[in-house]
């Protein structure tokens, strides 16, 4: 791994988010700007996943969730989808030892039944092989949509009510959170979206209720460790009030 930079050392000394979500946007545009096939942008983007994950692990971040492939992405041209699936398989093969050796637990959320078996099999196998790792949880959101996740959670709760396992009055925030695909992970404290787009795009809509949103104009394939650290430094400058006033926070800290 690369040695720590001065900015990394500074960021490490300040409060860090427990869970970061990243919308990795701009791969296709990065390639098109260079006159290359869109898949080359996704390939370069995979290198940024490696670099950012290594940095997050060095910092000691407990959890990070990457938006790798949305449910809506199934509407893209089939040759691009096939290329993306091949890149995911390649990533799992290349990163297997690093994930296991660095005590990272790989987790995946989404409608996995839609994935090709040559992707789904290795993905679930690596999740199982890393299940006992405790230093960091790396979640890949693959074939994932947040509205669909919430609808699934609601159906599960409705089924419990129908079976008499709980009453409708018992359905609250904690009950619904217990049915989400991210159950057991820390609340998302920070969401990063790259490429200059200012949208959430159906990603972790419930989980980011109190997250700090950081939008970067950098296209994902150009989003290096320095940009990641800049986003963390911006997060650390913000005052997180959770409904309280600034005066209340100052009083509680004294």
How far, in Å, CA of 45 to CA of 49, rounded?
A: 7
Which residue from 61, 123, 131, 138 is spatially nearest to 93, judged by alpha carbons?
123
Write b or e for each residue in 212-231: b if 16 or more Cβ atoms lie within 10 A of its Cβ, otherwise e: bebbbebbbbbbebebbbbb
User: Is residue 28 within a helix (H) or strand (E), and if so which, with residue range?
Assistant: helix 27-33
**Whether residue 25 lies in the annotated active site:** yes
DSSP 169: G
CA 28 to chain centre: 19
Backbone φ, ψ for residue 13 (5° rounding):
-80, -10
SS3 22: strand
Catalytic annotation present for 27: no
- The answer to whether 136 touches 62, Cβ cutoff 8 Å, is yes
Choose, from 27, 73, 79, 230, the residue flagged as catalytic: 73
Both tokens assigned to 49: 């996943």
User: Which burial class, exposed, middle or buried, applies to 207 when counting CB atoms under 10 A from its CB (0-12, 13-18, 19+)?
Assistant: buried
Question: For residue 210, what are the contacts with CB-CB under 8 A and spacing of at least 6?
Answer: 187, 189, 240, 242
Rg (C-alpha) for the chain, rounded Å, is 19
Catalytic residues: 25, 73
């Amino acid at each position: 791994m690369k040695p720590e930079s001065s900015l990394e050392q500074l960021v490490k000394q300040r409060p860090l988010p427990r869970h970061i979500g990243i919308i990795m946007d701009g791969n296709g545009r990065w390639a098109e700007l260079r006159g290359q096939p869109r898949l080359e942008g996704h390939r370069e983007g995979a290198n940024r996943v490696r670099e950012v994950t290594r940095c997050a692990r060095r910092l000691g971040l407990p959890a990070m969730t990457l938006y790798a492939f949305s449910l809506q992405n199934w509407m893209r041209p089939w040759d691009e989808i096939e290329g993306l699936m091949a890149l995911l398989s390649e990533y799992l093969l290349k990163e297997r030892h690093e994930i296991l050796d660095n005590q990272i637990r790989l987790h995946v959320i989404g409608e996995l039944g839609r994935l090709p078996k040559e992707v789904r099999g290795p993905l679930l196998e690596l999740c199982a092989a890393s299940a006992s790792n405790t230093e960091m949880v790396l979640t890949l959101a693959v074939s994932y949509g947040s509205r669909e996740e919430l609808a699934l959670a609601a159906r599960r709760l409705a089924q419990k009510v129908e079976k008499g396992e709980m009453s409708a009055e018992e359905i609250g925030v904690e009950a619904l959170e217990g049915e989400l695909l991210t159950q057991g992970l820390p609340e998302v404290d920070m969401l990063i979206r790259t490429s200059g787009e200012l949208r959430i795009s159906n990603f972790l809509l419930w989980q980011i209720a109190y997250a700090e949103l950081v939008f970067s104009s950098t296209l994902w394939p150009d989003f290096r460790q320095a940009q990641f650290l800049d986003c963390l430094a911006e997060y650390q400058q913000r005052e997180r009030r959770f409904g309280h006033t600034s005066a209340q926070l100052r009083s509680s800290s004294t």
